[in-house]
Each structure stands twice: as C-alpha cells, then as structure tokens.
Amino acid sequence: MIYIDPPMWPAHNTLFSHLISNSGLDELHAFTREAGISDRAFDGDHYDVPRERYDALVSLGAVPVSCGDLVRILIASGLRIPARERPSALAAPLRHRWNRLLPGTPELGEYLLQLWNEPHRRYHDRRHLLQVLEALDLLAGGEIPRPVALAAWFHDAVYTGRAGADEDASARLAEQLLPGAGVPAVETAECARLVRLTAGHDPAAADSNGSLLTDADLAVLAREPAGYAAYLQAVRAEYAHLSAEDFTAGRRRVVRQLAAADPLYRTPVGRQLWEERARRNLAAELAGTDQP
C-alpha cells in the first residue's frame, strides 16, 4: 500500500510530502511512474512530492497519514534507510573530504557530487563513493595517496551501465578536468590509470596504488548477509532495463570472475578484513544464480 504524509517539509519555495510503500520499492516505483513523478524525486526509501501534487496522489490511491505514522510504517516495513546511507544526506561529509583533498576547487567538487547523485543510480551513487573512501581510510591507515583518492572520486563519475566504456569515460573526464584544478600531469595520469583499472579489478602484484583502489571498490562484497542482499537489490535496480534472464546471465559472469580471483583482495589488510566473508557471499550468490 502507498502512504503519503501532509505537505509540511519546506524546500525550493514550497512544501513537500513524503510518499512511501509498506511492501516494496517496486510497488512505489510503479505508483510514481503511473502518477508521472520524476525519478529525481526518489531519495532511497521515499519520494519527495510538492504540495500541489498531494490531492492528485491521494485520488490515485495514496493513503493520507500523519508524519509520525508514515515514519512508523516505513520502519515496520523494513525499507527505511538510515540517514547515514541516504545519498541526499551525504553531500556535506563528501564536500568536506573533497575540500581537504583538493583545496580551492569547490566547483569541481560540486560537479562531481552532482554526477554521483544522478537519478538513475541505485548503487553507484554517493553512498558507494563514501564507502570506497572510508574503505581506503582502513586500507591506508588514513594516509591515502592523493592520486588514489582522486581516482576514487572519478572511478564511477560517468556511469551508464556499460562496463569498460564507463571506466574509460570517467578516466577521460579526470584527464580533462584535473589539470585545470592544478593537479600535476603525473598525478592526473596516475588517477586516470587507476580509474581504468577498476574495469577489471586486476592490478599487478607490485601495483600498490591499484591494489588500494580495487580492494576499496570491492569492499562491498564482504558485507553482512542483509547488507549484501541490499547491494544486490540496488545493482539489479540499476539494470532494470534488462530482463531477469539477461541480468542473471551477466551477473553470473561477473561473480564467477570475482570468485576465481586468488586472492580476491590484493592488500594484506583487505584480505584480513574482507576475504573470508566476501568469498562466502560470492559462493552463496553463485549457488543461487546457478539454480534452474
């Protein structure tokens, strides 16, 4: 069932309501498509809708509830996303990280933040960016080499779901924008090389920078079962245009390639932190996709 709270949340010179489902995001997305609500209004577990749409949405079947009841319904459904994992809530901490990484370039940071918040992204969004940066903190002891940190910011800056092509386009974007931000040519080149490396996650044994970035990018594989299931759901949502059969076949190829890597994580810290859990998750997923 779809629920809506009163329009009382101010933004953009109007008031907004929240639109949720108590059964699943598929139901919520179907309802909003039918109502003509843009994907840009989606914020992880709800849609923000302006007050001028309130009456029309109620007439389409959204059940009016109080703000408190809407939150309780969302929590009970298991769909609520904590603020820490909500893309719209991550702009401030990411902005702070960018300003420390490359001071005096706020325009470039804002541009990248907007790219990472494109409405078609369901997994490769600001949450993923912050998770990669935090994984790098763990791997590098807080002293992340600047080309590696820059590569984290650029590695999925272009994301259309085309493996290989997206990484190359993201690398070319770094090559285009970083010199104007005062980044030396050698660092720009290393950033672009690392971004391209994320297409295959197969750095050379002596490639310490590549090992850091690819391990951080794959840290998601070691989530606890519920988190791993959420990751898989988000990836599937990014490929909603594919049939179940085509997606399953493509995903199976990716999982088999990852499971065959020995080791999966190239840094000692990454192996210690994530290898065992990641292999369990990959094995379980592969067993599920191999079922008839």
Nearest Cα neighbor of 157 from 172, 138, 179, 140 is 172
pTM of the model: 0.74
Give residue 203's pLDDT. 96
Give residue 155's pLDDT. 97
| DSSP string covering 20-56 | EESS-HHHHHHHHHHHT--GGGB-SS-EEEEGGGHHH
Single-letter code of the amino acid located at 103: P
Residues 6+ apart with CB under 8 A from 187: 146, 147, 150, 178
Single-letter code of the amino acid located at 247: F
Q: Tell me the pLDDT tens digit for each residue of 147-198.
A: 999 999 999 999 998 888 999 999 999 999 999 999 999 999 999 999 999 9
Give residue 85's pLDDT. 67
H-helix segments, the chain? 25-35, 54-59, 67-77, 91-101, 106-115, 126-140, 146-154, 165-177, 185-197, 208-217, 225-238, 244-260, 268-270, 276-289
Cα 177 from Cα 284, distance rounded (Å) = 41
Give residue 74's pLDDT. 93
Give residue 292's pLDDT. 39
Cα 172 from Cα 124, distance rounded (Å) = 18
Cα 144 from Cα 136, distance rounded (Å) = 7
Give residue 83's pLDDT. 65
Give residue 84's pLDDT. 62
Pair 133, 97: CB distance under 8 Å: yes
* Mean pLDDT of successive 10-residue stretches along the chain, which has 292 residues: 93 90 92 91 89 96 94 90 70 93 97 92 92 95 92 96 92 98 98 97 96 98 92 89 90 95 96 97 85 41
Decide: residue 163, CB within 10 A, 0-12 exposed, 13-18 middle, 19+ buried: exposed
Give residue 262's pLDDT. 93
